């Protein structure tokens, strides 16, 4: 039992940090541009596939640097030549633009790399068990993922709190017009933030690619969870996104490792209706409903705290 708790906590924090790598970019982009980038998970996927391709040509370590830069450049281009054009048509048009973009990116990835998973392997340097805990080997690569996410998280925090550009970004989060009035090139800041945000998603993609499955549907699988994170945390709230990322990471990881069901808990009662179509609800295990846990959490949050955990503003 203790083994399960320790391993699940580690995995949960790892998944949560990965989610936060993406959610942080998404939140900052949303706060500044007012548009929720529907294609954010697609940049995560692009990062994974670029990482896979570059690691074939040059090795994993160059890929870890080049792939996010590449994805970030594409992201900046999307903001400069796509979103800025659509901006005059309102937020719905912007959201729809990124929705169409997500659709196109998935199609392009399918055309180039196919529909089946690609063979993106953990680099040999990290392919060993980091430590053994209660007879379970914990892979070093997962520790590396955790390390990278924490380093980036810390770097992001320092940049936001201690540097000039961070101050401007923070100001633009709440008062974008005022920042413009003060003479900053808001357009360039937007492009930069969009590029950095998508690059962060791509970093998550590169480091998650070898551990999870690198496939053309990975954006579609992760995207909705990502949006749940930002809504649960409170749209536009960075601390909220952090809390929600960890929460959802932990909830989902713990749910996967649990096997209880209503039938297991109240088995001896065995009511008659347990044999009708309600049998599904009766017999389903917690592990089986793990994929819908984030969405259940979303509905609960909406009922009891519509603004999100740490959200303050309505959009």
Partner 1 sequence: MSEIASHIAPPLPAAADKLKFYGLWVAAAAALLLLPQIFTSGGSLTTFSLIGISIIFSLSYNILLGQTGMLSFGHAVYYGLGGFLAIHAINIITANKLPIPLPLVPLIGGLTGLLFAALLGWVSTKRSGTAFAMISLGVAELIASSALILRTFFGGEAGISANRTKLLKLFGWSFGPQIQIYYLVAAWTLIAVIAMYALTRTPLGRMCNAVRDNPERVQFVGYNPHTVRYLAFCFSGFFAGIAGALAAINFEIANSAYLGAVQSGTVLFATYIGGVGFFIGPIVGAIFVTFLSLGLSDLTPVWQLYFGLIFIAVVVFAPGGITGLLMMHRPLLKAGTLTQMLPSYLIALVPTLAMIAGLILSIETTVHYTVNPGDDSHIKAFGVSFDAASPYIWAMAAILLIGGFFVARKTWTWVGHAWDGVTSVAREKGIAA
Provide the sign of the torsion angle of the four alpha carbons 250, 252, 258, 260, taken in this order.
Answer: positive
Contact present, 229 and 241 (Cβ < 8 Å):
yes
CB atoms within 10 A of CB 25: 30
Lay out the site mask for partner 1 across 113-132 (x = CB under 8 A, - = otherwise): -x------------------
Provide the sign of the torsion angle of the four alpha carbons 106, 107, 111, 115, taken in this order.
Answer: positive
Q: Is 89 in the site for partner 1 (CB under 8 A)?
A: yes
Q: Is 59 in the site for partner 1 (CB under 8 A)?
A: no
Q: Which listed range, 78-86, 116-124, 252-260, 265-273, lies at the site for partner 1 (CB under 8 A)? A: 78-86
Lay out the site mask for partner 1 across 207-246 (x = CB under 8 A, - = otherwise): -------------x---x--xx-xx---x-----------
Q: Is 100 in the site for partner 1 (CB under 8 A)?
A: yes
Binder among 82, 139, 166, 180 for partner 1 (CB under 8 A) = 82
Distance of closest approach, residue 211 Cβ to partner 1, in angstroms: 23
Count Cβ neighbours within 10 Å for each residue of 50-71 and write b for 16 or more, e otherwise: bbbbbbeeeebeebbebbbebb
C-alpha–C-alpha distance, residues 261 and 283, integer Å: 6
C-alpha–C-alpha distance, residues 155 and 216, integer Å: 30
Contact present, 52 and 293 (Cβ < 8 Å):
no
Lay out the site mask for partner 1 across 138-177 (x = CB under 8 A, - = otherwise): ----------------------------------------
Distance of closest approach, residue 266 Cβ to partner 1, in angstroms: 19
Contact present, 203 and 44 (Cβ < 8 Å):
no
186 three-state secondary structure: helix
Q: Which of residues 260-289 bind partner 1 (CB under 8 A)?
A: 276-277, 279-281, 284, 288-289
Q: Is 103 in the site for partner 1 (CB under 8 A)?
A: yes
Q: Is 104 in the site for partner 1 (CB under 8 A)?
A: yes
C-alpha–C-alpha distance, residues 129 and 122, integer Å: 12
Q: Which of residues 6-45 bind partner 1 (CB under 8 A)?
A: 30, 35-36
Radius of gyration for the chain, computed over Cα atoms and rounded to the nearest angstrom: 21
C-alpha–C-alpha distance, residues 87 and 28, integer Å: 17
Binder among 92, 154, 157, 167 for partner 1 (CB under 8 A) = 92
Q: Is 99 in the site for partner 1 (CB under 8 A)?
A: yes
Q: Which residues bind partner 1 (CB under 8 A)?
A: 30, 35-36, 82, 85-86, 89, 91-93, 95-97, 99-101, 103-104, 107-108, 111-112, 114, 220, 224, 227-228, 230-231, 235, 276-277, 279-281, 284, 288-289, 291-292, 294-296, 298-299, 302-303, 306, 314-315
């Amino acid at each position: 039992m203790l083994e399960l708790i320790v391993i699940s906590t580690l995995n949960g924090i790892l998944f949560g940090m990965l989610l936060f790598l993406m959610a942080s970019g998404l939140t900052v982009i949303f706060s500044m541009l007012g548009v929720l980038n529907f294609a954010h998970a697609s940049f995560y996927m692009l990062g994974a596939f670029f990482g896979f391709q570059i690691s074939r040509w040059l090795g994993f370590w160059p890929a870890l640097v080049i792939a996010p830069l590449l994805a970030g450049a594409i992201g900046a281009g999307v903001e400069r030549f796509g979103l800025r054009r659509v901006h005059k048509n309102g937020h719905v048009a912007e959201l729809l633009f990124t929705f169409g973009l997500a659709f196109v990116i998935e199609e392009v990835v399918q055309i180039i790399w196919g529909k089946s998973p690609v063979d993106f392997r953990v680099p040999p340097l990290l392919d060993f068990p980091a430590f053994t805990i209660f007879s379970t080997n914990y892979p070093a690569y997962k520790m590396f993922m955790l390390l990278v996410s924490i380093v980036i998280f810390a770097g992001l925090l320092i940049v936001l709190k201690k540097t000039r550009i961070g101050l401007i970004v923070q100001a633009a989060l709440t008062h974008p017009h005022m920042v413009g009035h003060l003479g900053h090139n808001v357009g360039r800041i937007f492009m930069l933030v969009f590029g950095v945000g998508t690059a962060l998603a791509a970093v998550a993609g590169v480091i998650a690619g070898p551990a999870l499955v690198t496939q053309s549907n990975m954006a579609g699988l992760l995207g909705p969870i990502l949006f749940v994170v930002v809504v649960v945390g409170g749209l536009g709230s960075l601390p909220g996104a952090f809390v929600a990322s960890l929460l959802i990471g932990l909830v989902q990881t713990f749910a996967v490792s649990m096997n209880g069901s209503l039938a297991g808990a109240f088995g001896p009662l065995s009511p008659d209706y347990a044999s009708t179509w309600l049998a599904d609800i009766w017999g389903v295990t917690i592990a089986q409903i793990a994929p819908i846990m984030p969405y259940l959490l979303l509905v609960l949050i909406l009922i009891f705290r519509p603004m999100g955990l740490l959200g303050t503003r309505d959009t």
